[in-house]
Amino acid sequence: MTNDLWGLVRVYVFLITVLVVGELLRRLLKKPADFTRKFIHIGVGFWGYFAWPIVSRWIVVIPPASFVLINIISHRWRLIPAMESEDRSNLGTIYYPLSICLLVLLFWQSDLRIIAMLGSMVMGLGDGFATIIGRAKGKHVYSRGKSKKSWEGSLAMFLFAVIAGLAVLLPYTVLPFGTVLVRSGLIALAAAVVEGLTPGGYDNLTVPLASAGLYYLLFVVL
């Protein structure tokens, strides 16, 4: 089996493990779906570490593309309750793997792979903890469409997006720590603004694509 195919197996094993653990948390520990959904959301953000050795973007795109279909089916028939929102109009679970597909197709080549990883990690950690902390500690609320958000959640988005940037750029680049911190901070600030302005589950598309696109524009093109 080639390295790319072994990598494909690793990615699937990781993603399925995240789903299974989320469902076990719901069934055995009686965790609410809001908790398990964000647990899965955060966990999936780490997919890039398992996909990193894969060279072909057409291999890398297979898992997220398959989960677009799986999540559409699950959303329709509630097959994986641990990751489903009570709001049937929220299609965030479908947009999330779709955004990863787009990141892979746009950036999975040579050194640009870190941009695909960065976009999904910012989404996974930043948005995941923004929701958790916003719901637990959010007292200063603002609305975007049907979505209620908080400044506390937006601050959490920024802080965990910085951590996401550090987690990707430090191990996969040779940039000095100060440079990595500045870049992570700029991307995190943009991600927090985009997340705050985006209603519903659409932030699962806008945040990763905006984060990756801004990084590419600022630090590759310019």
Q: Is the dihedral of CA 166, 171, 172, 176 positive or negative?
A: positive
Work out the average pLDDT over 70-90.
90
Work out the average pLDDT over 108-127.
95
Evaluate if residue 210 carries a pLDDT over 90: yes
- Which tops the pLDDT comparison, 85 or 150? 150
The greatest distance separating any two alpha carbons of the chain, rounded to the nearest whole angstrom, comes to 54
Q: DSSP letters of 11-62?
A: HHHHHHHHHHHHHHHHHHS---HHHHHHHHHHHHTTHHHHHTT---HHHHTH
Residue 181's H or E segment, with its range, is helix 177-197
Q: Which residue has the tokens 């994986």?
A: 80
